[in-house]
Structure 1
Amino acid sequence: MRFHSAFWDEWQRLHLPGLDKHLLFVIEHNPVEGKAALEYLSTSSQSWAVQAAQIELDARILERYADVEAIRQAHYNLISGELDSPVSTLLNFFSDISEDVDAALNQRSFYSQSQVLSAVAERLDANLQEISSSQSEYSSRFYPIAQSWLNVITNHIDKLVQITELRQEIDNPYIIGVPLNEQLEIFTGRTSIGLRIEQLLSDRRRPPLLLYGQRRMGKTSLLNNIGKLLPNNIIPMFVDLQGAPSSASDHAGFLYNLARDMEKSAKKQGVTLPSLAREVLQSDPFTYFDEWLDNVEHALEQNTALLALDEFEVLDNAIAKGRFDEQDVLGMLRHLIQHRPRFKVLLAGSHTIEEYQRWASYLINVQVVHISYLKEAEARQLIECPVKDFTLRYEPNAVERVLQLTRCHPFLVQLLCAEIIVLKNEQDPSIRRLATLADVEAAIPEALQSGGFFFADIQNNQVDAAGQAILRFIAAQGEGAIVSHQTLLQHFPDADITFNLLLQRELIEEVDDGYGFQVELIRRWFV
């Protein structure tokens, strides 16, 4: 390999035919030398061959995943997701599917696994058509892999259904760790928020909206299902900024992935948008994206587009790192809001705009839509009748205890109820179908453990050391305890700013002249 002219002819600028295949041959037979060759050539004029070889290596890796346990690990091994190449979209897609399969297999019951995997299979099937019709030179290479993955996932779903029937278990419909999409029956409530969003969308001043609430309060699930809550003339275009848009390496990649997600989301509502080729964006991305928006407005006819950008904080982080230009990206959003009346913009996140000053200066007069706990009637439905023909019944005091422990927090209701079903399925069939107060209490430790990622996020990412100390102090006082403001100041002088932050995060609430936890399960975690 070292005698190849790519390594000694520094004046060679033309692509050397067959170098990519030569690299693959060496990698197969001498991985150490092959890796060294890739590293050397990646900064040379023959870097094209490195990219081509790496893409083929990724394809071969994907081909080896022959069962769901292997597919769930794929996203850990894909390293080319940000290549400046059309294949980056395909690799990001396979990575996303792998993450979704991983999340599905983490569900506690076979029923929940099959539910989430069915949604993944539907997404994969829809994208198969897109891959087959794509003009990308790599489509024919990756289409059979996607088809193989679909077959593996579909076969595993069939096995899960058979296992559930044989064991005669209580089906566990609760979905933990992934947002509820529009196919999942368990999504409930939020009609009042839908009405509030509809009212604000009718405002002729076209203010941008912010859907704000605690983590795991159901913001993404709401956005996935918002089409059910709004009139038919409002076309939701959901974009997850945690995905491909914010992970792109440049503006062309960001706008291409943004347009792609808008297209896919609109298609679910029966609206076909014009496509936007990635190559078009390379020379002048924002100009061509603006022209594409003209075509989108024409395709909308008399409808209104709701551009819903979930997890806007991730995009802010990409801007802070210098990957995107603040003025270009946020200026584009401001221009869209001000000059395109057929578009409404909704951001979703667990922070206010004021906490991100760069956004506040571009998006003026943001209207906040607060998403908080479920209404009690909605929470009761989620407990007692989450899906049709639910076979578990609750004693009245057991339902009341779930409400007390969770305060109708949608994620915590699902978390606790999922653990109750796991517990019941381990009991004798004669008492399996009735949940008692004792069952609820027995499920609490398991819920605190299995929901550790949720509670740890509060502790590690939402409050500082002073906030953690205050929460532990209040938690130690017992269930329902209210600690006076004066007592807290004696132990934590100059902590008024921290108190305000804890109130804003909806972790504590002010009662008379003191503070207490809003949610008992969260208090127990801090104990």
Structure 2
Amino acid sequence: MIPLPSQRNPYIIGRPISEPELFFGREEELSFIEENLKRGEKVILVHGQRRIGKSSLLHKISKCIKLDKFAFVTFDLEHYSQEKIEYLLENLAETVIEQLEITPDKVVIPRVPQIKEQKDIFYTKFLHQIYEYLKATNLVLLLDEFDALNDKNIGATLESLFKQLNHVVYQHKRLFVIIFSGRQTTDISNLIEIFQNVPIVEVGLLDDESIKQLIIKPAANSLKYEPQAIQAITNLSAGHPYFIQVLCFAIFNRARELEKWQVTEEDVETIVDKAIELAEAGFAWYWEALSVTEKIVFSAVAEAQRIAVKKNDQELEEDPLTLLEGNDVLSRYLLDELARELTYKGFLNEQGNKIRIELVRRWLLQRHPLWDEMRELEKLDQQKFDQTSKTLNQTPQISNIRNEPIRQQQSSIIENSDLNHHPQSFNHHVSAVKTAKPKNYFTKREVWLVAGIILLGAAAIASFMIMIYSSRQSDRQDEAQNLISIAISSNSAEC
């Protein structure tokens, strides 16, 4: 059959996959969850990067895990991140009723005023009504985007909810909770402190067989992928399901437009820029999750990879941080620490010298080139210097001469660097970096900070000495005046 140009694109971006026939892989994660429920584990924590497929896995649980005495209710907490707990619990109660298909006359839903008046009514009355309706069946709450509630506007109330839930789940034998968190292990320590000694599973990148299924099966009736095309998609996505969907979505659109249904490696390369446009929302999470200094290292690794390939530079390929090492941006020690953190979070490969996902690297080169990110750091440094100068100016009885070093040090970090110019200057810059690797672990900014503190202390001591000196001078003048008065009095008496 020759597909019609109007055929719907079968690949999905921007929403979780709820269709079982379009969900591929995750057998290990599903098996982990099923086994722990069978063992009676009351709380299970599932975590991973955003858009890695946690929500799709959540929808798959109730359809794939066939345990006779477990009823699953999914609830997305992300939409309630700005709501008060009372509103959240009321909506959760309504969701339980709806998904279990319980008629409203069978169960009384706790409303906001009632929850405000009786804080534990959801647990002590509502849930017991649900248990009676379910008879011998257990209730499993699947809470999606749990970390979205970690908001300063909720604060202590949220912590109280977590602790209350942790307490109740062990009191209610028929209540189970599976929490889906959109963060890395290092970022969910607050949950681990509350829900201690619970089984944890990470939703990571897909294996090769799952990648192949996700590429081929959704469009099996229309597209035919050559093996080289499948490998090209694998190389670009590194097995990240969101980026696989984005690439295949763009491939399908182009095939439909050209009525060319055989997909080659060249076709994959052709749609990369379009895929980057489609994936902006997903890329935004990568970027917003990083600090300013992490962004610089992330962009530096991407740029170093580009230069290393272009110039066949083996040393730069093995150690991309040399691109920053010769410039007064960050100390080498801090650069290494940042790279280790990015590696641990899954942004860099295990060696820490390459961007883990090739499509992300290409996006970085287009949207966040290194020289732009360094200027962002320069702005922060200027603010820091301005604040230091302001502090010194507010110190009493210190000569204005003290401010001159501060004014002199407020030169740009990047002003004298090749990185301040057009990206082509990077090629020249790299060779200069290799011949002049700094050995100290302190940048000029750090030295100036110490110098500023010393200067401030010296100025304070000087002020104190001036006060003492002025006091002694005043005492001497008073003593001299007294002597003169005595002398005058003596002369008058003699006369």
TM-score > 0.5, shorter chain as reference: yes
**Residue 71 of structure 1: aligned partner:** none
Q: Does 1:415 align with 2:233?
A: no
1:502 aligned residue: 342
Query: How many residues end up aligned between the 2 structures?
Result: 348
Q: Name the structure 1 match of 2:45.
A: 210
How far the C-alpha of 1:275 sits from its partner, in A, is: 4.7
Whether 2:285 is the aligned partner of 1:447: answer: no
Q: How big is the shift at 1:508?
A: 0.7
Q: Does 1:339 align with 2:175?
A: no
How many Å apart are 1:435 and its aligned residue? 1.1
Structure 2 residue aligned with 1:3:
none
Equivalents in 2 of 1:504, 1:447: separation in Å?
27
Q: Secondary structure at the match of 1:347?
A: strand
Q: Is the 8 A contact 1:255 1:285 kept in 2?
A: no
Q: Residue 213 of structure 1: CA displacement?
A: 0.9
Which residue number in structure 1 is paired with residue 57 of structure 2? 222
The DSSP-based 3-state class of the residue aligned with 1:385 is helix
Match of 1:176 in 2: 13
Give me the CA root mean square deviation.
2.9
Post-superposition Cα deviations, 1:318-350, rounded to whole Å, max 9, x if no partner, equal xx2137714531122111232122222111122
Structure 2: which amino acid aligns with 1:190? Answer: R
Shift of 1:442: 0.4
Distance 1:505 1:273 in 2: 47
1:72-120 deviation digits (Å, cap 9, x = unpaired): xxxxxxxxxxxxxxxxxxxxxxxxxxxxxxxxxxxxxxxxxxxxxxxxx
Which digits, 9 at most, give the CA deviation of each residue in 1:284-324, with x for residues without a partner? 1323442211222233333332211111122121xx21377
Looking at structure 2, the residues matched to 296 and 242 of structure 1 have their Cα atoms a distance apart, in angstroms, of 24
In the alignment, the residues of structure 2 paired with residue 288 and residue 435 of structure 1 have an alpha-carbon distance, to the nearest angstrom, of 54
Q: 1:194 aligns with which of 7, 22, 30?
A: 30
Look up the match of 2:207.
375
Q: Deviations over 1:207-231 (max 9, x none)?
A: 5222111111011111122112212
After TM superposition, list the pairs within 5 Å mapping 1:482-493 onto structure 2: 482-484=317-319, 487=322, 490=325, 492-493=332-333
Q: Deviation string for 1:397-431 (max 9, x for gaps)?
A: 1111111111121000000000011111221x3xx
Measure the CA separation in 2 of the matches of 1:478 and 1:413: 22
Cα distance change, pair 294–411 in 1 and its aligned pair in 2 (3 A): same
**Please, what TM-score do these two structures have when normalized by structure 2?**
0.64
CA contact (8 A) 1:240 1:311 kept: yes
Shift in alpha-carbon separation, 1:378–1:352, aligned structure 2, 3 A: closer
SS at match of 2:78: coil
Deviation at 1:238, TM superposition (A): 0.9
> Given that residues 208 and 365 in structure 1 are in contact (C-alpha distance below 8 angstroms), is that contact kept between their aligned partners in structure 2?
no
TM-score with structure 1 setting the length: 0.60
Instruction: Determine helix, strand or coil for the equivalent of 2:22.
Output: coil
Contact persistence 1:419–1:446 (CA under 8 A): yes
Do the aligned partners of residues 288 and 403 (structure 1) sit closer, same or farther apart at CA in structure 2, a change above 3 Å counting? Answer: closer
1:136-192: CA deviation from partner (whole Å, max 9, x where unpaired): xxxxxxxxxxxxxxxxxxxxxxxxxxxxx99534431111111122x4632222121
What amino acid sits opposite 1:515 in the alignment?
N
- SS at 1:217 equivalent: coil
CA contact (8 A) 1:508 1:518 kept: yes
Correspondence list, 1:26-105, <5 A? none
Contact 2:224 2:263 in 1 (8 A): yes
Identity of aligned pairs, percent?
25
3-state SS, counterpart of residue 307 of structure 1:
strand
> Is the Cα contact below 8 Å between 1:263 and 1:273 reproduced in 2?
no
C-alpha spacing 1:315/1:398, structure 2 compared with 1 (3 Å): same
Q: Residue type matched to 1:421 in 2?
A: F
**Which residue matches 1:471?**
298
Q: Say whether 1:457 aligns with 2:290.
A: no
Matched residue SS, 1:448: helix
- Cα separation, partners in 2 of 1:354 and 1:509, compared to 1, 3 Å: closer
Q: Pick closer, same or farther for the CA change 1:316–1:373 going to 2, 3 Å.
A: same
Distance 1:486-1:502 versus aligned 2 partners, 3 A rule = closer
Question: Which structure is larger by alpha-carbon Rg, 1 or 2?
Answer: 2
Match of 2:191 in 1: 359
Deviates more, 1:462-471 or 1:473-482: 473-482
